[in-house]
Structure 1
Amino acid sequence: MRFDHVGIATRDAATLADLFADLLDTPVAHEETFDGMRVVFLELDDGGYFELLEPESDGTIADYLDREGPGIHHVALATDDLPGALDRARELGVDLVDEEPRPGAWGHEVAFLHPRSTAGVLVELVEQ
């Protein structure tokens, strides 16, 4: 597996995207509305991304922002075999948020590992 992105919850993706674009001298690589969120990806030099998540309706990110405030929401790792990665997590006793891959932003398949099994870190597995 390799680093793919860090997901950052925010109430204003446009302003944060402008800040990170200037601060990190990095372009916006992709924007979309997905699952009740505005999602903006900024591409880093190593091929990883900052993913900015702004809620457009009630849902997971809106709830997270109400509970925790803005900040890092999850860390994503890329895999070439998402079903295999989920099988491996099960073998190791890791609690899964998603038992099976599901559609994610940018047309990717994703699944999340529950933070209670990963030292409080919400881990997203991504197959591109």
Structure 2
Amino acid sequence: MRFDHVGVATRDAAGLTELFDGLLDAPVAHEETFDGMSVVFLELDDGGYFELLEPTEGGAIADYLDREGPGIHHVALATDDIAGALDRARDRGIDLVDETPRPGAWGHEVAFLHPRSTGGILVEFVEH
């Protein structure tokens, strides 16, 4: 597996896009509205991304922002075999948010591991 992106919950994706593009020279690589949120991927030099998540309606990110405020929401790791990655996690007793992969942003398959099993970190597996 390799680092893919860090997801950042925000109520101002446009403002963070401007900030990180200027600060990190991280231009927009992809934008879409998906699953009740505006999603903006900012490309980093190493091939990884900052994923900015701004709710457009109620849902998981809106609830997260109400509960936790803005900031890092999850860390995503790319895999070529998401089903196998989920099996390895399951075999190790990791609690899964997603028992099977589901459609994610940018047309990728994704699945999340519950933070109670991963040291408080919401981990996303992503298969491009």
TM-score normalised by length of structure 2: 0.99
**1:15 Cα shift?**
0.8
Q: Which residue of 1 aligns with 2:113?
A: 113
AA aligned opposite 1:39: V
AA aligned opposite 1:49: Y
Q: Which runs of 5+ in 1 are unaligned?
A: none
**1:70 Cα shift?**
0.2
Taking only the aligned residue pairs, the percentage that are identical comes to 83
**1:26 Cα shift?**
1.7
Aligned length: 128
- SS of match in other structure, 2:7: strand
**1:110 Cα shift?**
0.1
AA aligned opposite 2:42: L
TM-score normalised by length of structure 1: 0.99
Q: Which residue of 2 aligns with 1:87?
A: 87
CA-atom RMSD in angstroms:
0.3
Alignment of 1:90-101 (within 5 A): 90-101=90-101
Q: Which consecutive aligned stretches of 4+ in structure 1 deviate over 3 angstroms post-superposition? A: none
Q: Aligned pair 1:122/2:122, yes or no? A: yes
Q: Which residue of 2 aligns with 1:58?
A: 58
Separation of aligned partners in 2, 1:120 and 1:25: 30
